[in-house]
Amino acid sequence: MNIKSGTATDSNIQVVSILESDLALIKPEFQGVSEKLFDGKKDASYWLEQDGNLVCLVGLGDGKSPKAIQNSFRRLLSKNADKFDTDCSLRFLGNLNESQISNALIGFELGAYHADFYRNERKNQFENLDVKVEAEGQNLDSLIDRSRLITQSLVEGMRLVDLPPSVKTPEYLADWALKLHGKNDVTVKVLDEKQAKEEGLEAFLSVGRGSSKASKFIIIDYQPEGASRHIGLVGKGVTFDTGGYNIKTQGMHHMKSDMGGAAAVLAGTKLISDLKLQVRVTTIVPAVENAVSRDAFLPSEVISSYSGLSIEVIDTDAEGRLILADGLSYLQKNYSPEMLLDFATLTGSSVGTFGYACGALFSKNEELSRKLQDAGGESEDKLWPLPLWDEYGKEMDSDIADIKNYHGKPIAGAITAAKFLEAFTDEHPAWAHMDIAGVAYGDSEFSKSKTGTAFGVQLLLNFIENELNHGQ
């Protein structure tokens, strides 16, 4: 798809977008369209033919919902693929701001994404579609370039989750990261199992013991000259989770999504480096497969960790927190970022609490918590805080080891998991954990089954840009 600014009137298909408050602006050009046919409200659309060309009017309502705008335009292309052939135009009338236009462009380009990678007859990918964009009072060229980079990272975030685990192995994630090496001030290092053993990443290695697919500890460091801040990211990278010997009894085919946190930080780091933002970002993805074999780790084992804390394994299906523990400790000890953020599809408890509406946010730093919620609100990657009170930490006490990985009770699962992680942050003053189990993968009007959402990618972008703007 080739998107560029230009005059829209000579296109075979015109898409005309407008806020409900500016509805009167369509009257001079489309006099025959009454408000009964098109009222400009959110999700409203109306097709007509004029001068031999197709025209689609798209209503944006009050324009306050980024997701609604994205979905309107994604729906436009995805659901009307047969109408879009070689060229089209996107015209934005009235008082649309840069963010609204950007979300429309992102949504339109997302309409070309389908998770039908292995179908003999794939849906149209619109590689040859030429798109002209027309809007008044905007620097369209830079807006189009920025929107394209955001879309590319969102697509990568979704694709990584949607790929089958036979393809998306720990080595695949490592190779994906290595492609960033040497571009835009990015360096990438991948520790294999031998190197991880030498480093003392025992909790990380324990989880992957049962798999024939070698674990990889991925370290990405984006360090532009003159970076004013340093943010550390950790993403849970369990490429498939059987549950280990505490094997899952239902929904296991969805467990290719258990690296949704890794997808968020990988795609987010790519986007931040592509946009050349003046911030250092160090990203760690412990990538493993949690399988069952004679070598798999066992319930009641005591394992070591990079931090030196011993861990009693109560449940092998509480594996994500084990690899995150080593990721957090390693990042803190070796890179000392100002802020330490982790994203993970960690617990069913977070889904039980919030459903599929938002991710669970944990941080004792109230300012950081508020900033993350604000950043998520801008893109509707919603987060809501849960407490990290000390009494929950007592649930993780072990008789035989320094800490246990699961409290074994059907209560406060997301909170106790967060308390476990907290023990491996060395009391970092600006740490936040985001449990995104209910929002990284889900049902959508754009697919027949659950697919990746790229939750967290735009949240990270908003958060970092807000931090940079605040420091100016």
Q: Which residues pair with 434 in a beta bridge?
A: 343, 361
CA dihedral 191, 195, 199, 204 (to 10 degrees): 60
Distance (Å, whole) CA 411 – CA 107: 39
Contact 464, 279 (CB under 8 A): yes
Distance (Å, whole) CA 245 – CA 270: 35
By DSSP bridging, strand 237-241 and strand 186-191 are: unpaired
Distance (Å, whole) CA 469 – CA 319: 38
Burial of 469 (0-12, 13-18, 19+ CB in 10 A): exposed
Q: Give, to the nearest 10 degrees, the angle between helix 140-162 and helix 260-274.
A: 160
CA 125 to chain centre: 22
Contact 256, 342 (CB under 8 A): no
Distance (Å, whole) CA 462 – CA 150: 11
Q: Which residues pair with 288 in a beta bridge?
A: 238
DSSP 434-452: EE-TTTSEE--TT-SS-EE
Distance (Å, whole) CA 173 – CA 304: 25
Q: How many residues does the chain have?
A: 472
Query: What residues are labeled active site?
Result: 248, 321
Closest residue by Cα to residue 78 from 121, 110, 105: 110
Provide the token pair at 360. Answer: 């669970």
Beta strands in 26-170 (DSSP E): 45-50, 53-59, 87-92, 130-135
